Chains A and B, each alone.
Chain A
Amino acid sequence: MKNRSWAFLAGGLLVALLLAGVVSNYASSHPDGLDSSLLKGCTVDADDNIVGGSCPAQQARDHELADSPLADYGVRGVRNSFVSTGLSGVLGVLVTFAIGAGGFWLLRRRGTTPTDGTDPTDGTNPTDDTTPTSDDVRRRADAAS
């Protein structure tokens, strides 16, 4: 892979780590769209615990892995909730990237140039002058390396 691609990858990962590691602590803690829809018919207290009525959410059961050390986006044993949430987010981003990138790398087509065969008209785009097209830029990037 080219240097520019590595830089993009590193930059993107950094953004994801910051979002999951820091910004996640400012996320809304209200029930989400699905949970709130399933709570319809029930009355809840200030902590969103069901106190009365009848609704689909009452059928919810515990998660199989509710005892997982990272369950509910916290690290068990870490008392500071800011650190706990942030750390679990960072770990999640790294694990997801490792599984995703690793898996896709194993699945990829091999022995072909990055200019993939699904794009036979690549770069021949003379009629389009409204924007610098992706193809032009890519060709330049490829040529530069």
Chain B
Amino acid sequence: METLAMHISNGIIDGPVAAIFAALALAALTVCVLRGRRDLDDRLAPMAGLVAAFIFAVQMLNFPIFTAGVSGHLLGGALAAILVGPWVGALCVAVVLVVQALIFGDGGVAMLGLNITNMALLGTAAAYVLIAVLLRVLPRTRAGLAVTAFVAATLSVVVASQGFVLEYWLGGTTDLGNNLTGLAGTMAGVHLLIGIGEGLITATTVLTVAKVRPDLVYALRSLRTPAAPAVPVAGGAR
């Protein structure tokens, strides 16, 4: 089996740019640790471990998309943001990416900062902004929650894919000439289709958890309480 996860391999982005993003990712993850600690209590900590393990499992499940010969899999940022909040959620995805790079040879170790930036940070942040807005706007029903999860997950994948395009613009190892917009378009199109899969998986999982243990869904606790504290929102909109 080839290395199939949607992670940047060594050699695709040059060393200096990869190093800069490694430093950026480390700084951002430190902020996530500091802010995430406020959310992490005796109940959320094991739940967050479960979210990371679940994302690892589902990332192995490449599904075909409706163009010939292309697959995709869950990134998990939206799922994590809904279930355990944006700060801890980003850390969950980062844990998965580190395990994949260091144990499973998936995504170059030198590229880890780039992959964390796109999937753990950008994907989760974009998802949480959308979740914060949609949960307030949409009706407080299961359908509202499903639509929130689906839309946030779908668009977060497209945002993450454009993170790669930015990185490629800065440090791509092949000169695309003026064709960077071509890469951006290809990436956006493919990842919109992958995002639909991400949206379906995320909505299904979130609805299941919300049915069994609604008290374990972070976004419902923080965003659906009347006069909710401003902290999580300000955090999401960062």
User: Does A141 contact B215, Cβ atoms closer than 8 Å?
Assistant: yes
Q: Tell me whether B57 and A108 are in contact (CB under 8 A).
A: no
The number of inter-chain residue pairs (CB within 8 angstroms) is: 305
Question: In the complex, which residue of chain B has the Cβ closest to the Cβ of A135?
Answer: B225
B95-109 interface with A by 8 A CB criterion: 95-96, 98-106, 108-109
CB distance from A118 to the nearest CB of B (A): 6
Contact pick for A36, options B58, B69, B217, CB 8 Å: B69
Asked whether A24 lies within 8 Å of B61 as measured between CB atoms, the reply is: yes
Pairwise interchain contact B52-A100, C-beta atoms closer than 8 A: yes
Q: Are B11's CB and A64's CB within 8 A? A: no
Interface residues on B, range: 35 or more
Partner among B6, B47, B212 whose Cβ is within 8 Å of the Cβ of A32: B6
CB contacts (< 8 Å) of A51 on chain B: these are: none
User: Contact at A89–B50, with CB atoms within 8 Å?
Assistant: no
CB <8 Å contact, A73 and B48:
no
> Do the beta carbons of A29 and B12 come within 8 Å of each other?
no
Q: A62-B10, A63-B10 are in contact. Are A122 and B225 (CB under 8 A)?
A: yes
- Contact residues, B182-238 vs A (CB, 8 A): 182-183, 186-187, 190-191, 193-194, 210, 212-217, 220-222, 224-229, 231-232
Answer yes or no: A3 CB below 8 A from chain B CBs: no
CB A97 to nearest CB in B, in angstroms, measures: 4
18 additional contacts (CB under 8 A) given A20-B60, A134-B221: A12-B54, A24-B61, A32-B70, A37-B186, A56-B172, A70-B103, A73-B60, A92-B99, A97-B49, A97-B50, A97-B52, A99-B49, A114-B41, A131-B142, A133-B214, A133-B220, A135-B215, A135-B225
Chain B nearest CB, measured from A116 CB (Å): 5
Q: Check if A83 is an interface residue, CB within 8 A of chain B.
A: no
Q: Are B49 and A100 in contact (CB under 8 A)?
A: yes
Whole-angstrom CA separation of A36 from B69 in the bound complex: 9
- Taking residues whose C-beta sits less than 8 angstroms from the other chain, chain A's interface range is 35 or more
Residue among A93, A102, A124 facing the most chain B CB atoms (10 A cut-off):
A93
Assess the A59–B1 pair: CB atoms within 8 A. Answer: no
CB contacts (< 8 Å) of B228 on chain A: these are 121
A→B interface (CB under 8 Å): 1, 4-5, 8-9, 12-13, 15-17, 19-20, 23-24, 26-38, 40, 48, 54-66, 68, 70-74, 81, 85, 88-89, 92-105, 107-109, 112, 114, 116, 118-122, 124-125, 127-128, 130-135, 137-138, 141
**Interface stretch among B18-26, B30-38, B121-129, B146-154?**
B30-38
Are B50 and A56 in contact (CB-based, < 8 A)? no
Residue pair B53, A100 in contact (C-beta under 8 Å): yes
Q: Are A5 and B46 in contact (CB under 8 A)?
A: yes
Interface string of B132-149 (1 = CB under 8 A from A): 000000011110000000
In contact, A60 and B12 (Cβ under 8 angstroms) = yes
Contact B187 A33 (CB under 8 A): yes
Contacts of B95 in A (CB 8 A): 96, 99-100, 103
